Chains A and B, each alone.
Chain A
Amino acid sequence: MSRFRIFSVWNVVFLMAIVVLFLLVVYPMGSIFQASLLSADTGEFTWGNYLDVFTTKFYRRCLWNSIFLSGLATVFSVIIGVPFAFLTTRYKLPHANILKTLGTLPLILPTFIGAEAWLLLLGRNGILTQFFHSIGLNTPSIYGWQGVVLVYTLQFFPFVFLMVSAAINSVDRSLEESARNLGASPWRVFRTVTLPVVTPSIASGALIVFCMSIENFGVPTIIGNDYKVLAEQAYSEFVSEMGGNPSMAGALSTVLVIVTLALTILQKVFVERKSYSMSALRPPEILPLSKWKTRFAWLYCAGLVFVSLAPFLVVLVAAVTKTNGPVMYYGQFSLDNLAIALQAAPRPILNSFFLSTLATVIGMFFGMAVSYIVVRRRGWSGYTLDLVMMLPLVIAGSVLGIALAATYNSGPVVLTGTWVILVLAYFVRKTPFSVKTTSALLHQIDASVEEASINLGVPPLRSFMKVVVPVMLPGIISGAIIMWVTTLAELSSTIVLYYGPWSTMTVQVFQYIGSGDFGPASAYGAILILSVVVPLFLLNKFLGRDPMQSL
Chain B
Amino acid sequence: MSMVWNKVSKMANGLVFGLAALGLTGTAALADEVVLYSSNQPELLDVIAQGFKEKTGHTMTSVRMGTGEAMKRIAAERANPLCDVFWSGDLAVLDNAKADFASYKSPEAAGLDASLVEKDAKWTASNTHLMIFMVNTDLIPEADMPKSWADLLDPRFKGKIVIGNPEKSGSAYAQVYGFYQMYGDKGLEKLVENATILDSSSLVYKGTAEGEFALGITMEYAAQRYVAGGNQKIKIVYPTDGVISAPEGAAMIKGSKHPEAAKQFMDYLLSKEVEDMIFAKYFRRATRPDAAEVVGMPATASLKIFNVDPTEAGNAKKSILAKWKKLVLNK
Contact = CB atoms under 8 A, between A and B. Distances in A.
Interface of A: 56-58, 119, 123-125, 141, 143, 221-222, 225-226, 228, 232, 236, 239-244, 323-327, 329, 340, 342-347, 350-351, 354, 409-410, 412-420, 498-501, 503, 508, 511-512, 514-517, 520
Nearest to A410: B79
B69 interface: yes
B197 A240 contact: no
Contact of B5 (A225, A228, A344, A420): A420
A88 to B, nearest CB: 36
Contacts of B90: 241
Residue from A412, A499, A511, A515 whose CB has the most chain B CB atoms within 10 Å: A515
Residue from A225, A241, A418 whose CB has the most chain B CB atoms within 10 Å: A241
B16 interface: yes
B320 to A, nearest CB: 11
10 contacts: A123-B210, A125-B210, A221-B203, A226-B197, A241-B168, A325-B229, A326-B206, A327-B230, A417-B73, A501-B61
Contact of B168 (A240, A345, A418, A516): A240
A203 to B, nearest CB: 34
A347 B16 CA distance: 8
Residue from B5, B61, B90, B199 whose CB has the most chain A CB atoms within 10 Å: B199
A517 B35 CA distance: 24
Contacts of A123: 210-212
Contacts of A226: 196-198
A498 B63 CA distance: 9
Contacts of A501: 13, 35, 61, 63
Interface string B25-48: 000000000010001011100100
Given A124-B211, A354-B15, 19 more contacts: A57-B329, A125-B138, A226-B198, A239-B72, A241-B90, A241-B169, A323-B229, A325-B225, A325-B229, A340-B46, A345-B46, A347-B16, A415-B2, A417-B73, A417-B77, A417-B82, A418-B9, A500-B83, A503-B63
A413 B225 contact: no
Given A327-B229, A500-B83, A516-B202, A241 B41 contact: no
Contacts of A241: 39, 66-71, 89-90, 93, 168-170
Given A346-B24, A414-B2, A420 B9 contact: yes
A243 B168 CA distance: 8
Task: Give the interface SS of chain B, mostly helix, strand, loop or mixed.
Answer: helix
Contacts of A340: 43, 46
Given A119-B210, A517-B41, A415 B228 contact: no
A419 B12 contact: yes
Given A125-B211, A226-B197, A516-B209, A500 B82 contact: yes
B64 A511 contact: yes
B169 A325 contact: no
A55 to B, nearest CB: 12
A499 B82 contact: yes
A56 B329 CA distance: 9
A186 B24 CA distance: 63
Contacts of A119: 210
Contacts of B166: 242
Contacts of B301: none
Contacts, number: 170
Nearest to A246: B72
Contacts of A354: 12, 15-16
Contacts of B20: 346-347, 350
A420 B82 CA distance: 15
A437 B68 CA distance: 41
Contacts of B143: none
B35 A242 contact: no
Contact of B9 (A222, A344, A419): A419
B239 to A, nearest CB: 23
A350 B210 contact: no
B63 to A, nearest CB: 5
What 3 pairs between A and B have smallest CB-CB spacing?
A241-B68, A327-B229, A325-B229
Interface in B177-204: 196-200, 202-203
Given A241-B71, A324-B229, A420-B5, A228 B199 contact: yes
Contacts of A512: 42
A124 to B, nearest CB: 4
B167 interface: yes
B99 interface: no
Nearest to B47: A344
B87 interface: no
Contacts of B231: 326-327
Contacts of B196: 225-226
A244 B19 CA distance: 39
A326 B68 contact: no
B123 to A, nearest CB: 15
Contacts of A225: 196, 198, 207, 212
Contacts of A232: 199
Contacts of B207: 143, 225
Contacts of B89: 241
A327 to B, nearest CB: 3
Contacts of A514: 200, 202
Contact of B16 (A327, A345, A351, A413): A351
Nearest to B281: A325
B64 A242 contact: no
B1 interface: yes
B2 A413 contact: yes
A191 B24 CA distance: 61
B328 to A, nearest CB: 8
A228 B203 CA distance: 13
Nearest to A119: B210
Residue from A56, A123, A345 whose CB has the most chain B CB atoms within 10 Å: A345
A282 B16 CA distance: 50
A541 B317 CA distance: 61
A542 to B, nearest CB: 26
Nearest to B46: A344
B114 interface: no
Nearest to A328: B229
Contacts of A221: 199-200, 203
A326 B317 CA distance: 33
B80 interface: yes
B49 to A, nearest CB: 9
B1 A413 contact: yes
A498 B329 CA distance: 34
A418 B197 CA distance: 36
Nearest to A346: B24
Contacts of B63: 498-501, 503
B5 A415 contact: yes
A412 B41 contact: no
A141 B212 contact: yes
Interface string B201-245: 011011101111000000000100110111100000000000000
B8 interface: yes
Contacts of A520: 42-43
B202 A515 contact: yes
A195 to B, nearest CB: 43
A351 B61 CA distance: 14
A413 B202 CA distance: 36
Given A125-B210, A244-B68, A343 B9 contact: no
B212 A414 contact: no
